[in-house]
A and B are shown apart, each in its own frame.
Chain A
Amino acid sequence: MSFKSAVITFPGSNCDRDALCYLKDLTKGEVHNIWHEETSLPKVDLVILPGGFSFGDYLRSGAMASKSKIIDEVVKHANDNRYLLGICNGFQILTEIGLLEGALIRNKKLKFLGKNCFIKKKFKNNFNLSIKDNQILQIPVAHNEGNFYCDTETLNLLKNNEQIAFEYCKGEFSNTEENINGSIEAIAGITNKKKNVLGMMPHPERAYSDFHQSQDGRLIIESLIS
């Protein structure tokens, strides 16, 4: 059975094309591009909320997009136990919808970070099955608000339920700072309790092709398909 997927485009999304290519090239299945004003979503295995600056990041990153018409369908898709992946701005949108815990606030050092970073998996889920424990992935980040915050009670919940999917780490051949943006416990990505929704700041769709510096982003889609 072929793997079907969709990418939602909001005004200001700028990684939707990358996400579409990522899915087309790696899943070899049907890929839909859905405009945020649509009110229906085809039945697919995976929906990606892509990176970018939806609605110009007005009010708070992801706040406006989280109220878009398509979101009711995205929530239904997630409640149906199908996969939902929010990358960068998509992660911010997922926290604003309330599908994921916590919030993404300004990077600790106030700098926009556009560079390669290194992550490793923390707890196992279907998005990181093909990644070995302690395997270090090189994946780019590009964000201004990627500093993951939640209160202590929520952090304990995330740990107890094993919802932390990825954490930033030092690269094998790099002096890159371990926690690039000041996130609590260097969190780079979390899932919901059922682990079918993942939000992550790094961009796997920018690390899969031969012309990319790294192909480690393939492992996310390979995990889902396997």
Chain B
Amino acid sequence: MRIKILVRLKGQILEPQGKVIEQSLNSLGFTEFSNIRHGKLIELDLPDNISKEEKAQKIDSACKKLLVNDIIEEYEVLG
């Protein structure tokens, strides 16, 4: 199964890339776009036969050990 993990900077942390993207979009005429935040998506495969609990446990452990720095980032498993 394909797993998608969305990693983003926590809300209170300044995210300068999003600000620059927002300025560019606004100058291209997308003036309705605001509060843009830029994050990252990590995709990976896990075997289909693993249980839901094991899947959740493995993803959580991988995020805590390497994929996410919980001082500055938060994550969400999509789908």
Contacts and interface: CB of A to CB of B under 8 A. Distances in A.
A96 B16 contact: no
Given A59-B66, A63-B66, A105-B9, A110 B16 contact: yes
B72 interface: yes
Contacts of B9: 105
A182 interface: yes
Interface residues of B, number: 12
Contacts of A115: none
Contacts of B13: 105, 149
Contacts of B72: 103, 105, 149
A108 interface: yes
Contacts of A109: 16
Contacts of B69: 60, 63, 96, 103
A96 to B, nearest CB: 7
A21 interface: no
B71 A102 contact: yes
Interface string B10-38: 00011011001000000000000000000
Nearest to A101: B71
A108 B16 CA distance: 6
B69 to A, nearest CB: 6
Nearest to B65: A67
Greatest chain B CB density within 10 A among A102, A149, A150 is at A149
A67 B17 contact: no
Interface of A: 59-60, 63, 67, 95-96, 102-103, 105-110, 149-151, 182
Interface of B: 9, 13-14, 16-17, 20, 65-67, 69, 71-72
Which 10 residue pairs spanning A and B have beta carbons closest together? A103-B71, A103-B72, A110-B16, A106-B16, A103-B69, A60-B69, A105-B72, A149-B72, A108-B16, A110-B20
